[in-house]
Amino acid sequence: MQKNHVIAGVVIAGGLAMSGCATGGAPVKEAPKIAQSPADQLSGEIKVWSWDVAAKALQRMAPEFEKAHPGVKVEVVDIGYDNAYDKITVGLKSGSGLPDVITLEDTQIPGYAENFPGGLVDLTGVAGKYKADFDPAKWAAASSGKGLVALPWDSAPVGLFYRRDHFKQAGVDPESIVTWDDAVKAGEKIKKITGKRLFVSDLTKPDAFTMLLQQLGQGYFKDGKVAVNTPEAVRALTLLKTLKDKDLLQNEKGWDGRVTATKQGKAAAQPTAAWWSGTLTGEMAELSGKFGVIPLPAFDAAGSRTSANGGSALAITSQTKNQNTAWAFVEWLLANKDSQVSMMKNEALFPAYLPALSDPLFDEPQAYFGEQAINRLFADQVRKIPPVELTGDDTQVQEVLKKAVSSVLLNGEDPKTALDGAASRIATATKRPLAQ
Amino acid sequence: MRRTLVWLVATVGAVISVVPFYWMVVASTHDSGELFASPPPFLPGAELLANIANLEKTIHFSRVMITSVWTAIVYTALSALVSAMCGYGLAKYRFRGRGLLLGVVLATMMIPFQVLLVPLFQMMASVGWVDTYQAIIVPFLANSFGIFLMRQAFIDFPDELLESGRLDGAGDLRIFYRIVLPCVRPQLGALVIFTFMGQWNAFIWPLLMLNSEERFTVPVALNHLIGLSRVDYSGLMLGAFLATLPLALIFLLFQRQFVSGLLGGAVKG
């Protein structure tokens, strides 16, 4: 779920800007680096901040780590998701009050890495050897600063959830959908026969656009240059406009709107990440057996069939007094097949650690999804998620894109024109050059 | 005719203000998933006990309530005392820089709290108060609004009474507690309601300060029910509903003073 921290962000940022002058807080410019230490030398107590099911996973796993490392104590605090970043921002800004390890969503990592250089420990030295073992898109997100500032935890591979009953009624074989052109044609047919639109989208938000752009292998920036009006970006937005023009998008406001519309069966499909299955089974158990999943339709026949939407990582703060133990815990938890599989099994946290994905757990058929082994489908997509460039300016870009996307989808503006306008506004605001 | 119109407007107004509260009560008796149904449920469901048990299990709601109640009471009592004393001093003692001091107190009201967040956080961290109860109580004891309110309450208090108290040999503290304070009960009642509500609903500062789950206050704990891919709306609604009960109690207890406190200044010249 992508929530906006804009209001809180503005408030806090305003406070930071002003207090910056008063305190003159100059953080260390170079991130502290750490070295691996032998397991038998570990000791002391570490604190970890997390939220939601991630916190539950940590609370369950911590005692196992303690058992394997006598003398070590791991305290996990569930700080709640909704305002977690307020706490983390204030902690980084004031240089105090943070625990040893914090959870960060991928989209937040670049902002913290850029705005607080030295606030998070550079893990390159100890974690570099794992590079090939992790979801490449997530590795890229975690190393968007000068070094690797977080170790990837869970992946959010995107697929197309669909309603078996709606597709059947319309006589559309979901497996026949390979490209977005197929999906548009199938959508028209389903709309005509069942009256259901293709999927739910908030037309005032750039989320769907961002997801499609990543599918095309691009973020908002390319080599640091503004790239929201590249041919790829225009293509992504044009697809959404086509869907809208053919009346295939069910416009619903925000998260609650999407959940409500899905529960009511207003749409026949939903392109979203693997974690959506948790929302489905949790909020609409009565629809058991009605959903299935196919890979995301591609833009070109041989193109990427997935994207990413969400996912987190663990970072070690430089306020820690126990770096070695903190790293040992993070490494044991994330770069470890057993613990990653265990967290998939119990908390449905989809491993970004590739060796874990070969576990038979992923092949288990799921009753809710009509006995389909959806986790195998997602697991096969994880390593194919296109890595994109994330930056600390992304939140600002999203604000500008909101206007561009809604003017195209709601007022029928031309995608290229709208994105050109957005690009020049972003270039001015971020003082970055245009890629095109 | 006119009467009907008044009734109509009043009824519409009442419905508009009661419906959200009614929905809060109804939602707290349903399973979270049921709330997304359409049309949403209008009548109370059967899940109240299950929701209470769940709230207790997920965020230890009883412990959270106890923490909130006692921290709010301690804060309110101390803060009301500080406000009354400062207000009295600024109203009744003549000393150099009194006007300036009052100006400074008022000026602090005009600084947005967001600006103070980081410096205040650093202060708390450097005295080692992060994750302690005193961190959510002490920094706001000198509440500028309260000081100003009490100063206004004391300013019309007749000096002759103070002088006669002094002539009878009463000390400053005795005069304050025995003569002055009982006379401003209405304003004090209003202040108690305001400060209690402020502390009860305080969110961002307790959120930043408290790190251990066993110290959370109600707003901070309820915040935990908003997850990444699921929001426990029935838990949120139930928690919010239960959290209004102590406020209602405080309001009933101090209501008489509160109303006369608000009107107290209305007819004074």
- Where residue A296 sits, what CATH number does that domain have? 3.40.190.10
Residue of B nearest to A272 (CA): B229
Query: Which residues, other chains included, contact B4 with Cβ-Cβ below 8 Å and sequence gap of 6+?
Result: none
Each residue of B140-155: pLDDT tens digit?
A: 998 999 999 999 989 9
Asked whether the beta carbons of residue A263 and residue B36 sit closer than 8 angstroms, the reply is: yes
Asked whether the beta carbons of residue A19 and residue B119 sit closer than 8 angstroms, the reply is: yes
Residue A43's pLDDT band, with cuts at 50, 70 and 90, is confident
Are A285 and A303 members of one domain?
yes
Residue A351's pLDDT band, with cuts at 50, 70 and 90, is very high
Q: Report how far residue A353's alpha carbon sits from residue A130's, in angstroms, rounded to the nearest whole number.
A: 9
Counting the structural domains of chain A, the total is: 2
**Secondary structure of residue A309 in the 3-state scheme:** coil
Are A324 and A227 members of one domain?
no
Each residue of A133-169: pLDDT tens digit?
A: 999 999 999 987 678 999 999 999 999 999 999 999 9
> Does residue A11 carry a pLDDT above 50?
no
Lookup result for tokens 């709010």: B72
pLDDT of residue A37: 65
Q: Token pair for residue A15?
A: 């406070």
- Where residue B231 sits, what CATH number does that domain have? 1.10.3720.10
pLDDT of residue A144: 72
Residue A120: CB atoms within 10 A of its CB come to: 26
| Residue B107, in any domain of the structure | yes
pLDDT of residue A3: 41
pLDDT of residue B263: 59
Asked whether the beta carbons of residue B229 and residue A87 sit closer than 8 angstroms, the reply is: no
Each residue of A115-130: pLDDT tens digit?
A: 998 899 999 999 999 9
Are A119 and A229 members of one domain?
no
| Residue A106, in any domain of the structure | yes
Are A149 and A174 members of one domain?
no
Are A82 and A145 members of one domain?
yes
| Average pLDDT of the residues in A401-405 | 95
> Does residue B267 carry a pLDDT above 80?
no
Each residue of A74-132: pLDDT tens digit?
A: 999 988 888 899 999 999 998 888 999 999 999 999 999 989 988 999 999 999 999 99
| Residue A206, in any domain of the structure | yes
| Residue A354 φ/ψ region, left for φ over 0, alpha for ψ in the -120 to 50 degree band, beta for the rest | alpha
B193 CA to chain A: closest CA distance, Å?
Answer: 27
A79 CA to chain B: closest CA distance, Å?
Answer: 7
Residue of B nearest to A285 (CA): B33
Q: Token pair for residue A126?
A: 């100890």
Q: What is the mean pLDDT of chain A?
A: 90
Are A323 and A270 members of one domain?
no
| Average pLDDT of the residues in A359-384 | 95
Q: What ipTM does this complex have? A: 0.79
pLDDT of residue A31: 63
pLDDT of residue A40: 63
Alpha helices in B93-184 (DSSP H): 98-110, 113-126, 134-137, 144-155, 159-167, 172-174, 181-183
Are A94 and A126 members of one domain?
yes
Range scoring the smallest mean pLDDT among A14-23, A41-50, A419-428, B162-171: A14-23
Find out whether B233 and A263 touch, Cβ atoms under 8 Å: no
| Residue B115, in any domain of the structure | yes
Which has the closest alpha carbon to A15: A84, A89, A82, A81? A89
Q: Token pair for residue A354?
A: 């590739």
| Residue A96, in any domain of the structure | yes
| Residue A366, in any domain of the structure | no
- CB-facing half-sphere around the CA of B119: CA atoms within 13 A: 16
Q: Token pair for residue A50?
A: 């997390």
Which has the closest alpha carbon to A356: A373, A372, A378? A378
Q: What is the mean pLDDT of chain B?
A: 89
- Chain B residues whose CB is inside 8 A of the A47 CB are 211
| Average pLDDT of the residues in A8-16 | 41
pLDDT of residue A15: 41
Lookup result for tokens 């005032």: A204
Show the domain range for B55. 32-37+47-264
| Average pLDDT of the residues in B2-25 | 92
Are A298 and A326 members of one domain?
no
A55 CA to chain B: closest CA distance, Å?
Answer: 11
Are A175 and A209 members of one domain?
yes
pLDDT of residue A38: 66
Of A321, A351, A381, the last residue of a domain is A351
| Residue B196, in any domain of the structure | yes
Asked whether the beta carbons of residue B118 and residue A19 sit closer than 8 angstroms, the reply is: yes
Q: How many CB pairs under 8 A join A and B?
A: 113
Each residue of B101-142: pLDDT tens digit?
A: 999 999 988 888 888 888 999 999 999 999 999 999 999 998
| Residue B255, in any domain of the structure | yes
Asked whether the beta carbons of residue A81 and residue B37 sit closer than 8 angstroms, the reply is: no
A20 CA to chain B: closest CA distance, Å?
Answer: 9
Q: Token pair for residue A162?
A: 């669909």
Surface-to-core class of residue B12, CB atoms within 10 Å of its CB (0-12 exposed, 13-18 middle, 19+ buried): exposed
DSSP B40: P
Each residue of A285-330: pLDDT tens digit?
A: 999 999 999 999 999 999 999 999 989 999 999 999 999 999 999 9
Asked whether the beta carbons of residue A282 and residue B224 sit closer than 8 angstroms, the reply is: no
Are A94 and A128 members of one domain?
yes
Counting the structural domains of chain B, the total is: 1
pLDDT of residue A8: 40
Q: Report how far residue A423's alpha carbon sits from residue A419's, in angstroms, rounded to the nearest whole number.
A: 6
Q: Token pair for residue A300?
A: 């070109």
| Residue A107, in any domain of the structure | yes
| Residue B7, in any domain of the structure | no
> Does residue A424 carry a pLDDT above 70?
yes
Q: Report how far residue A107's alpha carbon sits from residue A9's, in angstroms, rounded to the nearest whole number.
A: 14
Q: HEC states along A29-49?
A: CCCCECCCCCHHHCCEEEEEE
> Does residue A354 carry a pLDDT above 60?
yes
| Residue A373, in any domain of the structure | no
Are A148 and A165 members of one domain?
no
How would you label B67-84 residue by residue, b for 16+ Cβ within 10 Å and e otherwise? bbbebbbebbeebbebbb
| Residue B22, in any domain of the structure | no
B112 CA to chain A: closest CA distance, Å?
Answer: 9
pLDDT of residue B13: 94
Asked whether the beta carbons of residue B229 and residue A275 sit closer than 8 angstroms, the reply is: yes
> Does residue A431 carry a pLDDT above 70?
yes
Show the domain range for A120. 37-154+312-351
pLDDT of residue A5: 39
Are A180 and A295 members of one domain?
yes
Asked whether the beta carbons of residue B118 and residue A90 sit closer than 8 angstroms, the reply is: yes
Which residue would you say has higher pLDDT here, A36 or A13? A36
**pLDDT above 70 covers what percent of chain B?**
96
| Residue B170, in any domain of the structure | yes
Alpha helices in A246-313 (DSSP H): 254-263, 276-283
| Residue B14, in any domain of the structure | no
pLDDT of residue A66: 95
> Does residue A19 carry a pLDDT above 50?
no
